Amino acid sequence: MTNPLYLDYHATTPVDPRVLEAMLPFFSERFGNPHSKQHAWGWDAKDAVEAARAQVAALINASANEIVFTSGASESNNLAIKGIVGAAGGPGRRSPGAGGAHVITVATEHKSVLDVCRGLEREGVEVTVLGVRSDGLVDLDDLERAVTDRTMVVSVMTANNEIGTVQPMAEIGALAHRRGALLHTDAAQGAGKVPIDVRAMQIDLLSLTGHKFYGPKGCGALFVRRTKPRLALAPQIAGGGQENGVRSGTLNVPGIVGLGRAAEICRLEMGEESRRLGALRDRLLDGLRGRLGDVRVNGSLEHRLPHNLHVSFDGIEGEALLMALDGLAVSTGSACASGSQAPSHVLEAIGATGQRAGASIRFGLGRTTSAEEIDFAIDRVAAAVGALRAASIAR
């Protein structure tokens, strides 16, 4: 059986061969534990970890000592939000006051943010979940009104994992800091795809993961801004006190080396790659519109990841469309929610519900996607949608 054409790069990416080459020695001949301080095997592993820490930091204009390695963005999101609230009143944080802590997030966030906030709410933390405009962007006036003197952290995703909308992080960061709150961003989809500058954007905490930008699965990082006094986080994993006591557990050295190399490649090649993928994305949209006419784009087309296209087709059912797309590996939305039969919470938040939401496809283009593959996808989708519309009319 021939594998279908892969256009689901939001779900995961293959490990870049250059990344794999950097990782391989640390599975065998360079297998030391970076926490072994008494011999050369440990020193070698520690040097590799610290080099990767600097590479990850450089991708987002951070300092190496601001990077905490984790198992991925979901863990980083948990550590960031629970960690801030859990350390309330500790060094580097003002007390939330008699009224208790307050957290603000957005309805289109990843479940690893929304579920954390729901859990905190059950523990007595006040949580505000902001809606978004029809283009998927946060309304800054709504955010301004939501922030109070008890707001500890505002968590807004850099780029949405379904509709690809890129939020105005610099404006959000300035607003949060002006009101005395911290800003956390889940940058799992944005890191390595669009420029991120934690200094210019006034970001305090940022989550990322390697497998979204051609690094290995199971390895990610949390950026924690260095402040005076130091920003305090309550650890979510207890044990050996690694990562300056913030995240215990023996470090995944091969994964961290791969994460660092993947970040370095993205930093050097992101501009050219984004321009190429943006052109292919536009070719895909123009081709679908040329063949089918009524194709609706979900989310802002202007403020969007270059490799993302999320579209809806009227008059057909979503599952029937996916089943009809022989030869294409695409999805309707987040891989993390693929087992759920519920409508996408992201599409519901932007008002793209009902039949429109059900007949939606997320295309994720990648590093090896070619113009010929885009034309193949246009042909397959146009044929499938046309056939399903014809069958619907016949009924």
Collapsing DSSP to helix, strand or coil, 328 comes out as strand
| Residue 333 contacts residue 10 (beta carbons within 8 Å) | no
Q: What distance in Å separates the CA atoms of residue 198 and residue 204, rounded to the nearest whole number?
A: 7
* The token pair that represents 342 in the structure block: 């519920």
| Choice among 117, 219, 266, 336 that is catalytic | 336
Beta strands 102-106; 360-364: pairing state: unpaired
Determine the Cα angle at 279 with ends 213 and 164, to 5°.
50
Q: What distance in Å separates the CA atoms of residue 126 and residue 201, rounded to the nearest whole number?
A: 26
CA dist list (Å): 336 to 12, 339, 344:
11, 8, 11
Closest CA to 85 of 272, 308, 236: 236
DSSP labels, 125-154: -EEEEE---TTS---HHHHHHH--TTEEEE
* 329 phi and psi angles, rounded to 5 deg: -100, 95
How many C-beta neighbours within 10 Å does residue 293 have?
7
What is the amino acid identity at position 154? V
219 is an active site residue? no
Q: What distance in Å separates the CA atoms of residue 370 and residue 283, rounded to the nearest whole number?
A: 11
**In the block, residue with structure tokens 């939001």:** 10
**What residues are labeled active site?**
336
